[in-house]
Structure 1
Amino acid sequence: MITSQQIEAKASRLFGKVVKEWLQGRLASFFPYRLPANLTLPPDHARAIVDVERLRDASKESLGHGYRVVWQTRRSRTHGLNRFPDAIMIDTMDDLVQLAKCEEPWQRLQAAVATLRRRQPLLNHWLTTSTHWKSLLECADVLDDLLSIVDYFVAHPRPDCFARELPVPVSTKLIEGHRRRLATWLDIVLPSHAIDLRYGYDAFEPRYGLRYARPHYLLRVLDVELQQELGLPFAELSLPADSLSKLAVREVGIIIVENKVSLLSLPRMNRSLALGGLGNGVTQLSAIEWLKQNHVYYWGDLDAEGYAILDRLRQLLPATQSLLMCQPTVDQFSHLATPGNAVAAKILDNLTDQEQRCYQHLCANNTRIEQEHLPMQTVVEQLNLKTL
């Protein structure tokens, strides 16, 4: 027969479902709730009496709250004429909350929901979708401050200042700690012209019109004549993407390199330049227009992360060719392999069939060959084959 501890566990699992009903205004039709329960008594008469008494002692009948036992009087061959438990009922939300031991989060959630609905009614649809109430509960302690930030953006779309300069009396670090949550809310409450959809949630500042310290990209010009053609006093420089985009780069081979050391090791090459040390920053290269007008090659680590970067780069530049990212390279330099990060293979739609097979192999074997370990002579030979 079910125990009071098992009833509490069932109530705890039920809590989230009931919260969603409450948010939708359907709580009145939910209670009383019949809890699925095994109420079969054990055949041993003494044990049955003990089990029934324990069930009664922990019930609403004895404690004044919690679950209610529905009794039925019937005669049993084994136990004679007695009152037997026939059903377990939870009558109210308060009963459920106490059974689930969720009194404190329930109180905080009620206050947070009331605050959100009062200050930003447009967010109510978000609140009642999926399990977003859990996200609200996570930020309940700073909710008023977060909504003050939202209010400011509504009143001053695209404010053109740094996040820490917003004239809102909240911690200057609050946006940094809640970017994704704020972005979700701002997408709902702001007019479309206040959101630059070219940028994703990971680029919070440009998406919502804030100033920010733009990332710099390391550029190496691998050809002296090309350097003169571009009017550059230095063969190596670091600039933001929009500044690099102003260079008149034409009929050039461009090598995008994952790691900075490999970039710095590249030798001189005819009409070639290299961008490197980017890692996942390749997603922000869309501002460099001449990448779309020249031959682009990507050379990264032979591991799950390297192929994921290649996949993201091809979303921006579909014609990108990979260098040394194939099974023959893995086989030739297997003695240089080290354990990877145990990343499970994902669906990467922008890899070639050959790259896909190599990617799956590396993930399955948790293998990594870092590009810095490859002999530069092999790299140069491969680059010559690509006729940069």
Structure 2
Amino acid sequence: MIDPQSIRDKAKRLFGKAIKAWLAGEMEVFFPHRIPANLTPSKDQSKAIAEVESLRDHSQQATGAGYRIEWESRRSRTHGRNDFPHAIFVDTMEDLACLSNRMDDWNRLQSSVDLLRSRQPNLESWLRKGTNWKLLLELSDGLSDLLCILDYMVEHPRPDCFARELPVAVSTKLIEQHRRRLASWLDLLLPPQAIDFRFGYDQFEPRYGLRYARPHYLLRVLDQDLQHELGLPFDELSLPAESIAKLPARDQRVIIVENKVSLLSLPPMRRTLALGGLGNGVTQLSGISWLRQCDVIYWGDLDADGFRILDRLRAVLPHVESRLMEQAVVDEFRHLATDGNGDQPHETENLCESERQCYHFLCQRNLRIEQEHLPNVLIHNALSQ
């Protein structure tokens, strides 16, 4: 026969289903809920009596909350005529919360759901999806402040100020701590024209029109005549993408280099600019319109990260050519390889077939050949073509 602890264990597993029914307004359908249970008493009479008494002593009848026993009077050869447990029911959400030791969660969740529904009813679809109620429970202590941020940004889309300048009486670090959660909500609340979908959730500020400290990219002009033509007093500068976009550039080549040391080591090349210090920020180069009208070369490390950066770069600049990122280079300089980051290959839609094969080869063998280790003569010949 089932014991009280097993009933509590079943109740814990039932809690999430009951919450989803509550959110959907289906509590009257869900409760009373019958708990599947083996209610056959032991053949040993003294043991059977102890089993039944234990069930009764821990039931709603004795404690005032929890599970309810439905009894049935019947005669058995072993025990004679007695009342036997016929079914176990949980009648209400409060009983279930008490039984599963989650009364505090239930009370906090009710308050949080009421607050969310009253302040942002358009998040109802998010609330009912999957296990988002668990996320809401985790955020319950700071939910009111997060909703203040949502209220302001819905009323003032793309506010063109720094996150910490929002005129909302909440901690200035709150957006930094919860940007991904705020982003998933803002995507549901804001009109499409208020969201810049070129930027992902990890680029919260440009996605939703907030100011931020722009990343600077190292720019080198590898041709003195081109430097004079661009009106630059220096051949090496650090600028955000928006400033680079304003250069009067035309009819030049651009070499994009993953690592800064390799960028600084490039020799002079006719009508050539070089950009570095980019990493995963290569997608922000999409804002430099003149890059679409010139030849662009990418040269990165021979490893998983290098090829993924190339894949992301091609998503915004499809005509980019790669250099020194091929199997022949890996084979020739494998003695320079170190361990990679251990990642498995990801889907790469923007690599050509030879690049994709090289990428998979490096991932499967967990290899990395850093671009700084390749011979200068090889680099100069490859990039000067």
Q: Same fold (TM over 0.5)?
A: yes
What residue is the counterpart of 1:346 in the other structure?
346
1:270 shift after superposition = 2.3
What residue is the counterpart of 2:87 in the other structure?
87
Cα distance in 2 between the residues matched to 1:43 and 1:353: 71
The alpha-carbon distance between structure 1 residues 34 and 207, as it changes in their structure 2 partners (threshold 3 A), is: same
Cα distance in 1 between the residues matched to 2:44 and 2:344: 52
Alignment of 1:261-276 (within 5 A): 261-276=261-276
Answering whether residue 132 of structure 2 is matched by residue 132 of structure 1, we say yes
Structure 1: gaps of 5 or more residues: none
Alignment of 1:233-382 (within 5 A): 233-382=233-382
What residue is the counterpart of 1:11 in the other structure?
11
Q: 1:202 aligns to what SS in structure 2? A: helix
What residue is the counterpart of 1:122 in the other structure?
122
1:49 shift after superposition = 5.3
Answering whether residue 144 of structure 2 is matched by residue 144 of structure 1, we say yes
Cα distance in 1 between the residues matched to 2:305 and 2:78: 66
Cα distance in 2 between the residues matched to 1:38 and 1:331: 66
Task: Map Cα deviations across residues 309-350 of structure 1 (whole Å, 9 max, x no partner).
Answer: 222111111222222222222222222222222222222222
Cα distance in 2 between the residues matched to 1:297 and 1:32: 67
Cα distance in 1 between the residues matched to 2:353 and 2:337: 22
RMSD: 2.5
Task: Map Cα deviations across residues 199-227 of structure 1 (whole Å, 9 max, x no partner).
Answer: 43333223333222221111111222222
Task: Map Cα deviations across residues 232-264 of structure 1 (whole Å, 9 max, x no partner).
Answer: 221111111111112233332222122212211
Q: 1:203 aligns to what SS in structure 2? A: helix
Alignment of 1:210-225 (within 5 A): 210-225=210-225
1:169 shift after superposition = 1.2
Alignment of 1:149-228 (within 5 A): 149-228=149-228
Cα distance in 1 between the residues matched to 2:130 and 2:45: 47
Cα distance in 1 between the residues matched to 2:80 and 2:73: 10
Cα distance in 2 between the residues matched to 1:46 and 1:377: 92
What residue is the counterpart of 2:229 in the other structure?
229
1:51 shift after superposition = 4.7
Cα distance in 2 between the residues matched to 1:126 and 1:305: 34
The alpha-carbon distance between structure 1 residues 141 and 269, as it changes in their structure 2 partners (threshold 3 A), is: same
Cα distance in 1 between the residues matched to 2:77 and 2:330: 75
Single out whichever of 159-168 and 370-379 deviates more from structure 2.
370-379
The alpha-carbon distance between structure 1 residues 39 and 262, as it changes in their structure 2 partners (threshold 3 A), is: farther
Cα distance in 2 between the residues matched to 1:41 and 1:340: 61
TM-score by length of 1: 0.89
The alpha-carbon distance between structure 1 residues 332 and 152, as it changes in their structure 2 partners (threshold 3 A), is: same
1:101 shift after superposition = 1.9
Q: 2:273 aligns to what SS in structure 1? A: strand
Task: Map Cα deviations across residues 270-308 of structure 1 (whole Å, 9 max, x no partner).
Answer: 222211111111121111112211222222222222222
Task: Map Cα deviations across residues 93-134 of structure 1 (whole Å, 9 max, x no partner).
Answer: 112112222222221111111111112222223222232222
1:48 shift after superposition = 5.3
Cα distance in 1 between the residues matched to 2:288 and 2:59: 68
What residue is the counterpart of 2:36 in the other structure?
36
Single out whichever of 167-176 and 371-380 deviates more from structure 2.
371-380
1:192 shift after superposition = 4.1
The alpha-carbon distance between structure 1 residues 328 and 44, as it changes in their structure 2 partners (threshold 3 A), is: farther
Q: 2:201 aligns to what SS in structure 1? A: coil
Cα distance in 1 between the residues matched to 2:57 and 2:296: 74
1:53 shift after superposition = 4.5
Task: Map Cα deviations across residues 150-207 of structure 1 (whole Å, 9 max, x no partner).
Answer: 2222333332222212221111111111222222323333344433444433332233
Cα distance in 1 between the residues matched to 2:153 and 2:181: 14
The alpha-carbon distance between structure 1 residues 126 and 254, as it changes in their structure 2 partners (threshold 3 A), is: same
Q: Which amino acid aligns with 2:283?
A: T
TM-score by length of 2: 0.90
Answering whether residue 111 of structure 2 is matched by residue 111 of structure 1, we say yes
The alpha-carbon distance between structure 1 residues 182 and 354, as it changes in their structure 2 partners (threshold 3 A), is: same
Cα distance in 1 between the residues matched to 2:335 and 2:42: 65
Cα distance in 1 between the residues matched to 2:363 and 2:55: 52
The alpha-carbon distance between structure 1 residues 40 and 222, as it changes in their structure 2 partners (threshold 3 A), is: farther
Identity of aligned residues (%): 62
What residue is the counterpart of 2:64 in the other structure?
64
Q: Which amino acid aligns with 1:303?
A: D
Count how many residue pairs are aligned between Structure 1 and Structure 2: 385
Q: 1:34 aligns to what SS in structure 2? A: strand
Single out whichever of 171-180 and 250-259 deviates more from structure 2.
250-259
Cα distance in 1 between the residues matched to 2:231 and 2:363: 44
The alpha-carbon distance between structure 1 residues 228 and 11, as it changes in their structure 2 partners (threshold 3 A), is: same
Task: Map Cα deviations across residues 52-110 of structure 1 (whole Å, 9 max, x no partner).
Answer: 54444433343332223444455667777665544332221112112222222221111
1:355 shift after superposition = 2.0
Structure 2: gaps of 5 or more residues: none
